[in-house]
Amino acid sequence: MIGALGISGPINRVVNDDGEYSQLLLDAKKELELTIRLL
């Protein structure tokens, strides 16, 4: 859980700075969260 929280901050910053990649990063974040839940 700590890893996910550490990664979500930088991802949110990038999404705010560059909307072009926002959907790609949100999808990656969702996949990451699902993977962590399965572990």
Give per-residue pLDDT as tens, 5-36: 555 666 555 555 555 666 777 788 888 888 88
Tell me the pLDDT band of 1, cut-offs 50, 70 and 90: very low
> Does residue 37 register a pLDDT over 80?
yes
Q: Residue 3 in contact with residue 9, Cβ under 8 Å?
A: no
Spatial contact of 30 and 16, defined as CB atoms under 8 Å apart: no
Which pTM does this prediction carry? Answer: 0.41
Cβ atoms of 15 and 26 within 8 Å: the answer is: yes
